[in-house]
């Protein structure tokens, strides 16, 4: 006998990265030669968890009230302005002039995605995802009573598959009368792939075409890793400038992660940012999504909001230097991985920058179990294994490539 609802009885987690990561940390505590390449958190070259000094300063300088009191459901005005400035950087003034912005504080970028799926898809409808993706998107969709389908992220040349993207958005338009699509860019999880400016022109043109008859379209832009783009902080924002070109039927929702940008992984703070073309759609966004936030989590972390506000204002320049150092750590590891992969004839999916790299293989679960025996913990995903570059040192990168190449 079950007392769960019919929906509740369908909920079964598969491949929980947090559980695999916990197993890896236990193994490493017993044997320091174990390589834990599972969870997407940043570690330094001494193998220690990387903490931003500016984040620590900001936290220590907050009063008890600023840390622990209730905040407004949508987030403080200061928090919103700090996030706007950081996200849009040199383009903020033109976004404020040419679009209708709104922002809601959320428990991590995950809260922003969850809110979006719940409010922009009818029950049972599908969200469009790339075939290589952060697998939690599918669980978030299921929790919202929705489903999903995938398009092929790469074409035969290893570039963004615009043809597959177009085919699927048009099919979803015919099937359900609306399109909600997620793109995680730059430094996509799990591949580390970053779309080019021309890729984004193709996406914007395609979404404008499919919505030209007023079909509602929502682009969910998961920008969790944007500050680790090897092109730099300003250049990484060039693509988002294209969001100003959408027609009135296209809504962009940007999902900001305090976990990745500021290392606040466990504090669970992020933002759901609306970039609308009309006042009506912006007002709808605020009303529906603040209602959901109030009903689901009441209010986001006051401590998290105030740390982010302080870091991005009071300690802005110092934080930028720390973030540049963190970005360089990843670039160095990525360069070494690519070099070693070539030496060992180890094929990986197209990679530009970011926390992860993906290696296709047969039976990834079995490969992961075999790698464990050799002291390497990775995450098995559909048709591949994901190696986390952010959590391993340069010497571990070299060993990991050798172990994987010999195993698969």
Name the helix (H) or strand (E) containing 16.
none
Query: For 202-237, how does the pLDDT look when each residue is reduced to its tens digit (9 = 90+)?
Result: 999 999 999 999 999 999 999 999 999 999 888 999
- Strand pairing report for 250-257 and 217-222: parallel
At 2 the pLDDT is 86
pLDDT at 16: 65
Q: If you count DSSP H runs as helices and E runs as strands, how many of each does the chain have, helices first?
A: 15, 12
Pair 206, 168: CB distance under 8 Å: no
Q: Round to whole Å and give the CA distance between 74 and 286.
A: 8
Each residue's pLDDT tens digit, 330-380: 999 999 999 999 999 999 999 999 999 999 999 999 999 999 999 999 999
- Beta sheet of 100-106, edge-to-edge order: 100-106, 270-276, 250-257, 217-222, 179-184, 126-130, 147-151
Q: What does the domain layout of the chain look like in residue ranges?
A: 8-52+318-407, 69-314
The fold of the 8-52+318-407 domain, in CATH, is 3.90.1150
* Cβ–Cβ < 8 Å for 394, 336: yes
Residues, the chain: 408
- Give the per-residue pLDDT at 84: 98
pLDDT tens, per residue, the chain with 408 residues: 889 888 788 887 765 677 888 899 999 999 999 999 998 999 999 999 999 999 999 999 999 999 999 989 999 999 999 999 999 999 999 999 999 999 999 999 999 999 999 999 999 999 999 999 999 999 999 999 999 999 999 999 999 999 999 999 999 999 999 999 999 999 999 999 999 999 999 999 999 999 999 999 999 999 999 999 999 888 999 999 999 999 999 999 999 999 999 999 999 999 999 999 999 999 999 999 999 999 999 999 999 999 999 999 999 999 999 999 999 999 999 999 999 999 999 999 999 999 999 999 999 999 999 999 999 999 999 999 999 999 999 999 999 999 999 999
- Bridge partners of 126, per DSSP, are 147
Question: In this structure, what token pair is assigned to residue 282?
Answer: 């912006």
* pLDDT value, residue 21: 85
**69-314 has which fold?**
3.40.640
Please state, in angstroms and rounded to a whole number, the distance separating the CA atoms of residues 75 and 95: 20
Which pLDDT score, from 0 to 100, does residue 185 have? 98
Q: Which two tokens stand for residue 6?
A: 């019919």
The tokens for 209 are 């075409």
Instruction: Kindly report whether the peptide bond that precedes residue 186 is cis, defined as omega within 30 degrees of 0.
Output: yes
What's the pLDDT at 62?
A: 97
Q: What token pair was written down for 242?
A: 């294209």
Domains 8-52+318-407 and 69-314 in one fold? no
Give, in order, the Cα–Cα distances in Å from 76 to each of 293, 313, 387.
14, 14, 37
What pLDDT is recorded for position 215? 98
Q: Supply 404's token pair.
A: 């994987």
State residue 15's pLDDT score.
57
CB distance 206 to 246 below 8 Å: no
Q: pLDDT at position 49, please? A: 96
Q: What is the pTM of this model?
A: 0.96
- CA angle 301-304-308, nearest 5°? 145
Per the CB < 8 A criterion, the answer to whether 119 and 289 are in contact is: yes
């Amino acid at each position: 006998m079950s007392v769960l609802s019919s929906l509740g009885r369908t909920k079964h987690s598969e491949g929980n990265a947090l559980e695999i990561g916990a197993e890896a940390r236990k193994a490493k505590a017993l044997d320091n030669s174990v390589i834990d390449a599972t969870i997407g958190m940043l570690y330094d070259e001494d193998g220690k968890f990387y903490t931003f000094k500016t984040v620590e300063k900001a936290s220590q300088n907050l009063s008890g009230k600023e840390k622990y009191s209730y905040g407004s459901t949508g987030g403080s005005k200061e928090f919103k302005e700090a996030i706007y400035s950081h996200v849009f950087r040199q383009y903020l003034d033109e976004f404020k002039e040419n679009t209708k912005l709104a922002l809601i504080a959320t428990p991590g970028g995950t809260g922003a995605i969850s809110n979006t799926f719940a409010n922009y898809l009818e029950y049972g409808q599908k969200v469009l995802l790339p075939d290589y993706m952060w697998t939690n998107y599918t669980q978030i969709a299921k929790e919202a009573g929705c489903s999903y389908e995938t398009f092929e992220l790469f074409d035969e040349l290893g570039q963004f598959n615009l043809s597959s993207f177009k085919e699927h958005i048009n099919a979803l338009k015919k099937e359900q009368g609306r399109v909600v699509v997620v793109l995680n860019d730059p430094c996509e999880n799990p591949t580390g792939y970053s779309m080019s400016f021309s890729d984004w022109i193709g996406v914007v043109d395609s979404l404008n075409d499919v919505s030209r008859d007023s079909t509602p379209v929502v682009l969910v832009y998961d920008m969790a890793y944007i500050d680790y783009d090897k092109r730099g902080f300003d250049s990484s924002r060039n693509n988002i400038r294209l969001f100003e070109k959408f027609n009135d039927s296209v809504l962009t929702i940007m999902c900001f992660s305090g976990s990745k940008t500021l290392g606040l992984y466990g504090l669970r703070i992020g933002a759901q940012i609306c970039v609308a073309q009309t006042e009506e759609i912006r007002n709808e966004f605020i009303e529906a999504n603040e209602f959901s936030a109030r009903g689901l989590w009441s209010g986001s972390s006051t401590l998290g909001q105030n740390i982010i506000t302080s870091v991005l204002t009071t300690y802005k320049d110092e934080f930028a230097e720390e973030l540049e150092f963190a970005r360089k750590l990843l670039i160095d590891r990525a360069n070494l991985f690519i070099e070693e992969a070539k030496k060992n004839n180890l094929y990986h999916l197209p990679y530009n920058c970011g926390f992860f790299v993906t290696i296709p293989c047969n039976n990834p679960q079995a490969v992961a179990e075999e790698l464990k025996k050799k002291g390497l913990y990775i995450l098995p995903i559909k048709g591949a294994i994901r190696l986390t570059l952010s959590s391993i040192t340069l010497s571990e990168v070299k060993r990991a490539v050798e172990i994987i190449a010999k195993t698969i």
